[in-house]
Amino acid sequence: MTVQLLQYNDLAVTAHAIRTCWQSFDKSDDGGEKDKELIHRVGNKFKHASTLEHLSYSFYIQGISRACLQELARHRIASLSVKSTRYTLKELKNNPPLMNSNQAEGTYWLWDEIDKYIVLTGEYAVDTYSAMALANLKDLLEDGVPNDQAKYALPESYKTELTWTINARSLQNFLYLRSSKSALWEIQHLANAIFQALPKDHKYIFEDFIQEKTQ
Ligand SMILES: Cc1cc2nc3c(=O)[nH]c(=O)nc-3n(C[C@H](O)[C@H](O)[C@H](O)COP(=O)(O)OP(=O)(O)OC[C@H]3O[C@@H](n4cnc5c(N)ncnc54)[C@H](O)[C@@H]3O)c2cc1C
């Protein structure tokens, strides 16, 4: 998977929101160390966490499975725009075969090609069944079955991508829940990759919410 930070707003905006409550604008250092300490003290320690909602991040997340997407989408306090399988299954239909089969070399899976479409787990039996489901789906499409029908044969491992926007308060909740050892391994990786993609000077707001580091 890859996670790219597309956009975020300045810490000074969050500090301004906090300073609005006490009208202490004159004490601001425009997003500097004083403002950063204020954000941590008020937003994190005093749990006046609604102030953290003024800080938001947009990410471009690529190469997660539909299984992982399903879990990510449970986080309601976020905005998602997801690649449509209805419109993009033609990639699978038109692209090269997933299996080599000629008499000289025999029959074997082309894992580099398969890896473009599904998340591989490293568990050979699981990945093979997943590749078989993908090959069946490709057959359906090549036989002319419309995308709207064929999508019901998608394996959960099928890769997708999305633009995801979330505010800092909700991101803390996401990172806490999904960096836990009890979360699915793929969303644990995603939580860690999202944390890594944050601007260096914003990470301190989230550090205490990371339970397990996977990278
Ligand atoms: C390890 C793990 C296992 C899980 N297993 C399952 C499972 O088996 N089945 C399953 O269905 N889900 C499961 N989930 C998903 C889980 O129940 C949550 O839906 C998901 O983690 C999103 O969390 P959230 O509601 O805090 O986030 P968000 O939806 O982003 O909500 C953020 C916060 O807003 C508040 N909030 C949002 N909506 C409401 C509301 N309607 N009422 C009151 N407060 C609200 C809450 O404080 C919430 O924490 C699992 C999650 C984890 C981490």
User: Which protein residue's CA is at the shortest distance from atom 8 of ligand 1?
Assistant: 71
| pLDDT above 60 for 84 | yes
Active site includes 178? yes
End-to-end CA distance of the chain: 13
| pLDDT above 60 for 44 | yes
pLDDT of res. 208:
94
Determine what percent of the chain is predicted with pLDDT higher than 90.
Answer: 87
* Mutation choice for ligand 1 from 75, 167, 175, 176, CB with most ligand atoms inside 8 A: 75
Read off the pLDDT of residues 50-73 as tens digits, 9 standing for 90 and up: 999 999 999 999 999 999 999 999
Structural domains of the chain ordered from first start: 2-82+159-209 (3.30.1360.170), 85-153 (no CATH)
| pLDDT above 80 for 214 | no
Indicate the pairing of strand 2-8 with strand 56-65.
Answer: antiparallel
Cβ of residue 181 lying under 6 Å from some atom of ligand 1: no
Say if CB 110 and CB 97 are below 8 A apart: yes
Q: Cα–Cα distance between 18 and 21 in angstroms, integer?
A: 6
Read off the pLDDT of residues 122-180 as tens digits, 9 standing for 90 and up: 999 999 999 999 999 999 999 999 999 999 999 999 999 999 999 999 999 999 999 99
Say if CB 169 and CB 7 are below 8 A apart: no
Q: Cα–Cα distance between 80 and 73 in angstroms, integer?
A: 8
Cβ of residue 173 lying under 6 Å from some atom of ligand 1: yes
Say if CB 202 and CB 170 are below 8 A apart: no
pLDDT of res. 65:
98
Sign of torsion, CA 15 17 21 24? Answer: positive
